[in-house]
A and B are shown apart, each in its own frame.
Chain A
């Protein structure tokens, strides 16, 4: 990379014209196909998210139809349109697709589009990572689609209970592929969470303190925090599961001392926050739309926010209410009953706040308001029926029945209802055209009838066991009503698709603000907004939104260690190519140059995601760490290698690509004022990595306790190699510090030598570890030997994968330093150092746990 980039055109002209960046690549207009592959603009990415998620809605919806057809009557063996395994696949894929590939991405489409506008930012902090999130999401969905054609997809339910989730019981390759698709999806979510959190904490306009954030942005902020931690826990569960399926470890095997229970803990620790992760954005839409169409500010705004913050925190302490019938004891049940009731109360407050907002208002029943109003109504029913489940004695009987199914569909599809309202609400902003109001209202009417016809009878037929299609005949009428409702609800979306598709092209042109009384900043710019959102710098310094010319911007006082208005380098993502856990490590590598306009195009997020897709597809048929015999196995192995090359190549290309994040004048940045974006991003990422390792260590401790703590003989009986490695890693932390000092002193060879030494020490660590493992293998110990071996190899293996990822980065940094980089700006070295210290600290926990205790 040469740091001397020519000046580029600032492409602030609506995005419809062709802009040029410094590489001479065109940034094509929205009519061009190419634009959508290279774009890193948050509004484009938002639209991509929305369109893609609607596609998955249709897919998940068709699966639901298949289930509802099967459920039209109680079916004996061989009756109905689905064979038993096919039914289980439909149930599982429907749940997974709707929860993961539709609901959250649909909401994050809006988040992508609207949040930077509400913040007064020109884009997200790391635009390329944002594009990467999208492409990882799309490719994870494609991978899930592929799983249907590999002997059948996963059939163990969206909760994936152990040990049904291991190949002993679900041997299809497609089942492994579905799990790997989820891993890729989690990578997307992690990258996205880091990006949103950095952006939302660091890039708010002057005067826009967190307290002043619009409610939709508030819900996204809290959602992103919950996602960061909850999905890291899910990643731990999924990596262990992938390892059980592909490498042959035995965490969740039937014989494992507490494998089934371990899965329920890991899954629900993620699973309950996930409920709020999908619901919060809907709540944000409700709050915004209620205020706009009643013409009143929300009642008790700060209590509303406080309630949400409490829920977000407490959501990590209620997971065992999904496990009331497992072997947990009465004390634990009592505790979780209390936290569960506790977490329901803030929602009461939010519901009342929304209702009271209507009072004395001037309510306009437009399509967005109808949907959001309907959503609140549905949520009230979902909430009341949820209180039933909070009473443990009732939960005992509702467990595994359609009461649960009906309840969570009222809540979650209630959330969808609000998000559909959001789609109508922001459609004019996104397309610059109005939708047809009559068709919108018609959609609502059909949707609302269909919804209640589908889900309400399920309360009446609650004695039906979940995921069963042979039910008591007297319940059949209710199931028939539900099936009819399912078709009404599904078909209502045809009205929406027709309306929105047509209106996007021939609808009436939308003004900047088509909704009287809307207050948030996205309505203060044109529809659609210009490529870089604002002409001039948005500020709230006088208590309301104003746009300042560049000259008027007050210098920030000692807030930033970089020059005001400096282009912020975008973080390239560097991932462990070996494990293909693409969110493993991130390292901003591009250099900050002169003050320049931001970039908007990069093809590498797309290529990188395609590479990761190929790697995981290639790995899917592994069993006991071996590819199947013959041509098929060879083809899969080739795919893995090809994917690995593409992944690694695009990582390097992305690191070398001159790419400049959005220019921003620092405004409100609590609590990260004075720390640059890259560093904040790295810290946030490491926080999620802490949870990932926490999940692994928790799994180890849990398994060991179930096994009998003292009866558990540590697998490496000889602690000496581990001890040696501890010293090696500690030394390498020291050399990283030296590297940073050398870079800051502009001492080129000191930097190269220190980085090189770090690299060599890391290699030493791996060689020593390799010898140790070789020795253990010779002793006849393998990952699948027993659960002690499984936990040792997998946990230290995950750490080794982090070391390898670090070494890839170290090698890259060394090569660049050799050519003179980092002397002007040592931040990349600093970020790498953070990562490396973290990896060392993890080892300081692993060593005593696995070698000594």
Chain B
């Protein structure tokens, strides 16, 4: 009897753990069932590497958007990841207590601001700035990367910080006692020990960047062409779905689901990579 009682929570937790599996399965099946027919019809190569997207004329090539997603996300990561990790170190190690008391809730607040507000703000400030100072229409890869970098900061900062402050005190104390400076301690002791949390933070942040739709719709310009510079407008896979789903029907709608499949596969590859990195670490 007591053994049963002891086992019950485990079973309940296991049942709850099934939720994410079933959710993923439902979504996967749904997207594939709806998107696969058009890929089969157009041909995988022509769909993924096709350069022309004109659904109303029966042309379904999404390569410019794949490139768009990669470039914008890369840009966001280049800007956002170093800044985010620096901020988490700041919070965990350098911030004076009163400042920390302001900074931490401020970051939570940043996480709560609707993406549409970021997009709107970007349209009002970043886009005109780029248009006037750097040229082009302002709606550009650069504008999207900057907005996304800001948007992924809270994810990166809060999760990295949690993993840094959760380290046992004696890590730091021991290292300082050995005569290492504060920065050396952070760099050679704390960061490696908190690595799994920080990697998780970065992956979740990049995931959010790839997945973001509404904010980038507003600042990217959404042109379906291979960009020649970071000041050119591009369209990402998500914005393709976001912009056109409302009015699409028939094959056009299927092609948007198929866009979702490609997005899905890219994310899966990222996940596998991430899992490889995190499980490879010595335990």
User: Do the two chains bind?
Assistant: no
**Chain B residues in the interface with A (C-beta under 8 A):** none
